[in-house]
Structure 1
């Protein structure tokens, strides 16, 4: 257990810095634009760190790191997609057009950008409703990750840990808006980068070096449990057997679901509208890429290598040490293998990872309720008490997220992330891409794509994809069988089915309906 005095001082300093950054955001928040999009003047370095810190949370470090501990380094393909799609494509290809259109249309949220592009309050309201209903699932996964580490490292009750994380984060989000979120994100991002760098160095030192550590992990392949081997597990430095259950989960749900779903994350896309020009976005790539590489690359490698440490010191694999809960693999490894003083520092790293993402999600859920659903859809654009309703929306979705963090099953972090990313990919990505790249896309095509993407994804989760269908039990109750389809179909993630259908619907319906007036298209894209 880390020294109470050292821990107390470290946490106090961290909270003082967090409060200061939150206060700076509050001080500079004077208008709705400031609260929603940081006044559109955020520094590119702050943007990169804020984007990365919001993107990479305890879900990645604890949840996906634990997944690597159980199933191996095949998850490193997700690092490639995180950087290539999540940073390069997102900033250079999507980001510049999103920023430009956001300025042209004076949009302050992701749903408003899409809604104004297609002149549809329904699109804006429905998008806000989707965010309000389903983002708490992802948020709860982030909460669980931070709370599990606090539980293991500090001996604090899990329920207490959840409340502590929530209350601290909610305080500066509700008062300071997006500026407070981004300033604190940037500070927390720096802390996260340093923490992960030290974790990587200490891990390789403990295991005898880079080559020695990876060779030792390769040599453990013979210890793969028979049940996992039958599902395709070939060791921690090999990809699972092609077409096996583990392969389908890794490739379709984890790698593609999260890797592609990044482009349609509302809490990330809105950050493109916070900078003053496209040059700022390009500059942000230079710091955003290395940041993401360090965050996810280290987490996944260390998670897998924890097997070597546990086998050498306890004669057990990581999965067994964690009692079958993959969400506990990383906390168990860090508390067992790292120096006491580093455990304190890494707890702050994980607090930063959790709070940076939570603050972004809380802010996004609140604006979805207050601005998109209430003001624009229900009140038809009347100003009313938008900020007050937004703050109440933040509070409401926080409560829902906390409840979910208490009731969701063990090992849920990576799964919860993949579910939300997959759903947003199917519901938002075709419509979003069409909005900023295809002038011919119509309102009818966007509405149809969003609805078909949403409900086909939910249908697949409920009635076909075995992981969710068996847990929900709806198919069993209605049809008397766990899933409506059998065999490989039950392993295919919804993103591979719902997103292509959504794309096809968007194209076909748009070509069959009248395009928007030329004047509106010129307003959106600029002359």
Structure 2
């Protein structure tokens, strides 16, 4: 290890991040600046911040490792990320979200929903759900970055976690959303460069254009257990309807690809620009960024099988088997590949890429957790409409609380958890908030009762499926075994591998529609609520 070079690179990176955090602090003069960047963020900065928040170490490390397991079928997630996460999000959802947020003087995603339907309960419930469950997603991101530092720098895992999270929390705590956006844009640029170099180098190491043919030829090396589950090789989709097909399509592609529309940390970005035209200008850079981030991660993950087969006569999963459990830890695969295959200088560059990916997402997550506690829970539920300037100190306390919970989870969660935890959180947001969000923006006939019923039904359906039916989680949690003696109520059937989003999202949507049609239409006020006008004054 070249310690002087490493120290210089880390020092420069830290200096830039600290400076940008300070710049955000200097330009944060009000609660609106802290919460939504004063609604004056440049569109290119917004696009980079959106993309770098969207793509984290869970995508590069977690899902890259999963691509080594499942193969190039994960590229369907890239397609869905661009189609839904960028095009639909910016073109269909972006303008009305920005417009409604400005009209209602909403500063958080739960506040947007609550003020649209005139319900403090909706805002408090959404804020509480986010504050409670987002640390699970944040822990997945933190683990991804720490695992890379553990492998690349031979650091103790606990030390990597602590240092990594502490730096991120510092600039969010003081710089607010402006500090987050400035640092996210810088980190997004680093991520883009790092992934281009990774793509070119990987193809050079695996045979260029012939790498895909070599990967196809490895189909016979798929482990018997995976073949039994429907795996047909790393360049083919799993057998239709097989357990692996359901896991790939329902949990990974649909769970993350659709769930992105209701991600509070991403939706907030639409409320930071000053006009709808700014969102159009952000569309192309956002789409290109996501293509290079997820597409490269999934291609490289799959091609690691070719590299390790040519070098060691083993597929990639065999290189990351945990001696204690005898099972592969896919979260270590991308770090192991870069350390084994890449020159030392690239290891440091890619380390910065992953640090940037993790810190950009963590900063947005901590900011959203803090504002959910300070703005959505304290201001609306505890203080019942206190002036927004009084909520910023509470939000900072919330950021610190979210940081502590995230750290505890990161220490407790097991191996190979990064992609699973990310998919779970995305699916939960889709089930609980997406029908409500769509109704808030596009359906005037939606009622407060319908919004409440749909949100609660989606959350309960999602939680029930996770606790009792979806075997990967229900077996670990143990409640299904306590009730039935089986790891899942769906054990032995296809339902055990069907993701919660496939069941919970339709239930949430149908309940929202049915109850809205059965209740009296709302009278939509043209002005924001009284407490919103007071905050804006």
- Pair in the same fold by TM > 0.5: yes
Tell me what 1:148 maps to. Answer: 147
- In 1, the alpha carbon distance for the partners of 2:490 and 2:3 equals 54
Tell me what 1:450 maps to. Answer: 455
Matching of residues 64-143 of structure 1 within 5 Å: 64-143=63-142
- Kindly state the Cα deviation for residue 382 of structure 1 after the two structures are TM-superposed: 1.3
- In 1, the alpha carbon distance for the partners of 2:13 and 2:115 equals 40
Conservation of the 8 A alpha-carbon contact between 1:439 and 1:521? no
Does residue 260 of the first structure (1) align with residue 258 of the second (2)?
yes
Does residue 367 of the first structure (1) align with residue 371 of the second (2)?
yes
| Deviates most, 374-383 or 66-75 | 374-383
Deviations 1:290-328 (A, max 9, x none): 000000000000000001111111111111101100001
Tell me what 2:534 maps to. Answer: none
| Deviates most, 69-78 or 483-492 | 483-492
Tell me what 1:11 maps to. Answer: 10
Matching of residues 198-217 of structure 1 within 5 Å: 198-209=197-208, 211-217=209-215
Tell me what 1:505 maps to. Answer: 511
- In 2, the alpha carbon distance for the partners of 1:374 and 1:414 equals 32
* Structure 1 residue ranges, 4+ long, deviating more than 6 angstroms after superposition: none
Tell me what 1:219 maps to. Answer: 217
Aligned positions, number = 522
- Kindly state the Cα deviation for residue 475 of structure 1 after the two structures are TM-superposed: 1.2
Give secondary structure in 1 for the equivalent of 2:255. Answer: helix
RMSD of the TM alignment (CA)?
A: 1.2
Give secondary structure in 1 for the equivalent of 2:384. Answer: coil
Deviations 1:131-187 (A, max 9, x none): 011001100000000000000000000110000110000000000100000000000
- In 1, the alpha carbon distance for the partners of 2:267 and 2:528 equals 22
Matching of residues 182-201 of structure 1 within 5 Å: 182-201=181-200
- Kindly state the Cα deviation for residue 110 of structure 1 after the two structures are TM-superposed: 0.3
Deviations 1:321-379 (A, max 9, x none): 01100001100000001111000111011000000000000000000001001111221
Q: Structure 2: state its 5+ residue gaps.
A: 322-327, 530-537
After TM superposition, the score normalised by the length of structure 1 is 0.98
- In 2, the alpha carbon distance for the partners of 1:220 and 1:462 equals 37
Matching of residues 126-525 of structure 1 within 5 Å: 126-209=125-208, 211-323=209-321, 324-383=328-387, 385-486=390-491, 487-520=493-526
- Kindly state the Cα deviation for residue 61 of structure 1 after the two structures are TM-superposed: 0.1
- In 1, the alpha carbon distance for the partners of 2:22 and 2:291 equals 30
- In 2, the alpha carbon distance for the partners of 1:478 and 1:175 equals 48
- In 2, the alpha carbon distance for the partners of 1:355 and 1:391 equals 18
After TM superposition, the score normalised by the length of structure 2 is 0.96
- In 2, the alpha carbon distance for the partners of 1:470 and 1:512 equals 39
Deviations 1:33-61 (A, max 9, x none): 00000000000000000000000000000
- Kindly state the Cα deviation for residue 522 of structure 1 after the two structures are TM-superposed: 9.8
Give secondary structure in 2 for the equivalent of 1:519. Answer: coil
| Deviates most, 312-321 or 183-192 | 312-321
Give secondary structure in 1 for the equivalent of 2:271. Answer: helix
- In 2, the alpha carbon distance for the partners of 1:451 and 1:374 equals 21
- In 2, the alpha carbon distance for the partners of 1:61 and 1:481 equals 34
Tell me what 1:44 maps to. Answer: 43
Q: 1:353 to 1:518 in 2, by over 3 A?
A: closer
Give secondary structure in 2 for the equivalent of 1:116. Answer: helix
- Kindly state the Cα deviation for residue 485 of structure 1 after the two structures are TM-superposed: 2.8
| Deviates most, 372-381 or 479-488 | 479-488
- In 1, the alpha carbon distance for the partners of 2:504 and 2:263 equals 16
- In 2, the alpha carbon distance for the partners of 1:519 and 1:75 equals 45
